[in-house]
Amino acid sequence: MAGERIQLDGLINTRDLGGYRTRDGRRLKKKRVLRSGALCIATEQDIQILTKQYELKKIIDFRTKTERVQKPDPEIMGVDYVVNEILQEAQLGITHEGEKRPTELLASMIAMCREVGERAEQYLAGLYPKLVTDENCIRGYRRFFEILLTQQEGAVLYHCSEGKDRVGTATALFLSALGVEREVILSDYLLTNDYTEEKRRDIYEKMKEKTPEEPGLAERFLILNSVHRSYLESLFDTIDQRYGSMDCFLQDQMGLVEEKRDRLQQMYLE
């Protein structure tokens, strides 16, 4: 199965992108590129699977300093750790998470939903165009490709907090650069809803129980922690309208001139 979830104890949205086919019939190599949510709850067994079975060699952390301090990645011997912030603190806004302990996390989620009010969908819909037009974001994703072009062996894993927005964008750009069909990219993006449903529903029920006097608050949480096809479509539309095409964006903004794009495909396709 292409883009399948890696069966881990603590991590629910960690996937191997291997298996996706390109327009010319090639296929993304297995155990080379992994996408994930935050690694702070990885168990020792999870780490063993990632390092032994998937030969994990590098982790790219898209999160802000606050997110990293609140939920630090585990130190893994033999694995390089690279901080590559995509959004700045002020841009990230309401997507900050709480502390490690569950009660604090729930309180943080409640505060986030109160802050966003009735504009949960508008917030996320507006986030995606920003990820491909803001210079800081563009710089971060350009560096992401530069790192991929230096990863000669083993697997590279990139993650944000939930593995859906910043990671979803990175995945869409990466798969586009390899020549994967847009509809396939959208399907991969939507898998986040399937893999995180149980966790979302658990927090949703706890939030409803905690805030009975605020009807609709828990529903906002579901919106903020889900993905929707229209969000990624707005990213594609923004690229097409502002830069002319995905190919132009990848070349001019990501620095993937023909030679580099060919090299990227040679490295990650079979």
pLDDT-flagged residues of the chain (< 50) = 94-103
Q: What is the pLDDT of residue 112?
A: 75
pTM of the predicted model, to two decimals?
0.90
Q: Please list the alpha-helical segments (H only) found in 93-165.
A: 102-116, 120-131, 135-148
- Show the domains of the chain with their CATH numbers: 15-268 (3.90.190.10)
Amino acid identity, position 23: R
What pLDDT was estimated at residue 91? 62
Name 123's Cβ contacts closer than 8 Å, sequence gap at least 6: 93, 94, 116, 224
- Give, in order, the Cα–Cα distances in Å from 16 to each of 85, 171, 238: 22, 11, 27
